[in-house]
A and B are shown apart, each in its own frame.
Chain A
Amino acid sequence: MAQSLDDISRQLKKRHRKSARMKWLSMAALILAGTFLLVFLGDMLVKGLPAFQQGYIEVEVDYSERAAELPLAAVEADYRDLVSRGYLRLIPGRMADDESLLGTTQTEWVLADDAVDQYLKGRKARLKDKQIEVLDRLAEEGRAELRFNTGFFTNGDSKLPEMAGLASAAMGSVLVLIVTLAFAFPVGVMTAVYLEEFAPDNRFTRFLEVNINNLAAIPSILFGLLGLAIFINFFGAPRSSALAGGLTLGMMTLPIIIITSRAALRAVPDSIRQAAFGVGATRWQTVRDHVLPLSMPGIFTGSIIGLAQALGETAPLIIIGMIAYIPDAPTSFTQAATVLPAQIFTWAGMPESSYVERTAAGILVLLTVLISLNVTAVYLRKKFEHRW
């Protein structure tokens, strides 16, 4: 006997309720994930944004003969402790560069000591009562303020928190990524071309394929051990150098580039290959003139994502010694260098609150770079996407 519409509706109520419940549960999961992300970002912003500002005070700098010998003498005794020691150390050098300064007294905005900076940002600072008194007076006269922290982007690491910046680590990251790209891109793309276009489909190539996929999932620290054993111990690449780091990260990026390149090559329809073979192109001509140009956007996208991963990688670089204290930006691939995430790791181990804020600011910078890389990848894919 057929059920009436009412009977069916009554039974359905329970099923509809369950459906609604599942909808809310899945939405709650999304909200939870989103909240974590927002809390993380918010925390980084709250902690990191102050690092983009740095305390400065306006004092009279006396470029006397004596100051050239004893930089402390350049600033009045009252303000000596408030000015960054790092700044004072630079005075003799500046006088040597610019002789017209000698014998003059200039009123200048000068980088303040870390404690002053923290005091101006409203944090607890190790300042004596007398120093606080002087500082309060300066602030009232408008001679102490927070300014944009250019030093964070132009200085290398420093033992003085107010002088510490990202520049040397950023330069290290650039050098490392150049090596990574120069190694992993051609090797990865050519491997993909061989496997996809030339290699016969047999047990051996299938075995290779499985292993390349597995390689992409290996814990990155193992690549560090491999890099240490091969590039540093066997080939003798200098320890801590961008060369060793870049090659190590290159090995790590290789499977990603191979896998994405193969997918991009496979997405080129066979009719294009047939057309090229049909007019008498050799296999390499077919690949070079038709298949590769069409798959390049996909290959670039995959490579950028691989590079972004390499940029954020720390573990393998710690093993090959790229966690060193590097105050000056490296200028060659063989010099000791550090990278952005390693710099963040170093700062994260420091107790001073100004290093804590630099840690968060470093993460913000790294995140910005990574997001721009990924946006570029998405843009490339969208722009050159070919519909068949």
Chain B
Amino acid sequence: MTTKLASPGAPVTFSPETTHDLEMTVRDLKLWYGEKQALHGIDLDIYQNNITALIGPSGCGKSTFLRCLNRMNDLIPSARAEGEVMMEGKNVLSKQVDEVALRKKVGMVFQKPNPFPKSIYENVAYAPRMHDIVSKGKEQDELVERSLRAAGLWDEVKDQLGQPGTSLSGGQQQRLCIARAIAVQPSVILMDEPTSALDPISTATIEELMHELKRDFTIVVVTHNMQQAARVADYTAFFHLGEVIEYNDTAMMFSTPDQKKTEDYITGRYG
């Protein structure tokens, strides 16, 4: 059952056919960079153990939106956000929520693979040790192995854990970054165009990995690649000029879009 909307640009939510628990609910999220408003009142529900894709043309605010979910925008001095991003009954945008705690709960994978210039082992072990999730020694070794396995990288790197993470190939580096993100045991993983810097084979590997990961994590992925959204996402939101034009079940979105703009975009008329 999808909610049909009369006018484009109106707040968009929908109820999925199968019931999922809500991981995060975003209500009337507005964001300014200095004087310029980048997000104009976003409403979006993020469902647990699902992959939500955010698509849209460049500069439409999808990455900005993604970065609101773990408050990475706080690092930009001119950015100012208003509205609600509810998680576990708290508005994570409010000062009561520590952004460091939030980022432990909501991990992130970036567009360009950015492993720390340390060993593969250290890349994974650093954050859990910092958060006191594990102590040094056997416990830490196990977590590193578990995380690398979950990221599908263990078999490739198990004999070279001491090598620098930056010596791996681009696709491997990105999976190392995924391993690093899941090692702190977050609930949500945000992925900001995780495959845009990778070749098609590495991209396919990461997409398969995302299917595996959604059993344990909620994934929100920004992508420029509509085929990718169609392949991996359960739900897709179409952003345009800082607004959500349409948010729907992915299959529905790509077969029978409600909005003219969505249809134009996914059929390649612009963007």
Contact = CB atoms under 8 A, between A and B. Distances in A.
A298 B180 CA distance: 28
Contact of A278 (B72, B77, B101, B131): B72
B110 interface: yes
Interface stretch (B1-9, B114-122, B150-158): B114-122
**Which residue among B110, B127, B181 has the maximum number of chain A CB atoms within 10 Å of its CB?**
B127
B62 interface: no
Given A272-B116, A275-B115, A289-B126, A282 B72 contact: no
B72 A279 contact: no
Interface string A293-327: 01000000000000000000000000000000000
B104 interface: yes
Contact of A275 (B100, B110, B130): B110
Contacts of A273: 75
A279 B127 contact: yes
Given A280-B103, A294-B117, 15 more contacts: A271-B112, A274-B75, A275-B116, A275-B180, A278-B103, A278-B110, A279-B184, A280-B100, A280-B101, A280-B104, A280-B130, A281-B100, A281-B127, A285-B130, A289-B130
**Which residue among A272, A273, A279, A290 has the maximum number of chain B CB atoms within 10 Å of its CB?**
A279
B46 interface: no
B10 to A, nearest CB: 33
A380 to B, nearest CB: 17
Q: How large is the interface on B (under 10, 10 to 19, 20 to 34, 35 or more residues)?
A: 20 to 34
Nearest to A275: B114
B208 to A, nearest CB: 23
B72 A274 contact: yes
Q: How large is the interface on A (under 10, 10 to 19, 20 to 34, 35 or more residues)?
A: 10 to 19
Contacts of A201: 77
B116 A290 contact: yes
Interface in B86-134: 100-101, 103-104, 107-108, 110, 112, 114-117, 126-127, 130-131
A186 B107 CA distance: 34
A200 interface: yes
A277 interface: yes
Interface in A254-280: 271-280
The 10 closest A-B pairs by CB, nearest first: A279-B127, A280-B104, A271-B114, A278-B108, A280-B103, A275-B114, A280-B100, A282-B100, A279-B184, A200-B77
B223 interface: no
Contacts of B115: 275
A18 interface: no
A386 interface: yes
A183 B46 CA distance: 53
B250 interface: no
A386 B115 CA distance: 14
Nearest to B75: A277
B217 to A, nearest CB: 14
Nearest to B104: A280
A290 B114 CA distance: 12
Contacts of B77: 200-201
A290 B127 CA distance: 12
A280 B117 contact: no
A159 to B, nearest CB: 58
Interface of A: 200-201, 271-282, 285, 289-290, 294, 386
A276 B116 contact: yes
Nearest to B128: A279
A213 B161 CA distance: 44
A287 to B, nearest CB: 13
A273 B76 CA distance: 12
B253 interface: no
Nearest to B127: A279
**Which residue among A275, A281, A285 has the maximum number of chain B CB atoms within 10 Å of its CB?**
A275
A133 B130 CA distance: 83
B107 A279 contact: yes
B177 interface: yes
Contacts of B75: 273-274, 277
Contact of B110 (A274, A280, A285, A294): A274
Contacts of A282: 100
Interface in B155-187: 177, 180-181, 184
B70 interface: yes
B117 A275 contact: no
A292 to B, nearest CB: 13
B101 A274 contact: no
Contacts of A272: 114, 116-117
6 contacts: A275-B116, A277-B75, A279-B107, A281-B100, A289-B130, A290-B116
Contacts of B131: 280
Contacts of B126: 279, 289
A275 B101 contact: no
Contacts of A289: 126, 130
A341 to B, nearest CB: 40
Contacts of B181: 278-279
Nearest to A269: B114
A294 B180 CA distance: 19
A273 B181 CA distance: 15
Interface string B139-150: 000000000000
Given A200-B77, A289-B126, A277 B114 contact: no
Nearest to A200: B77
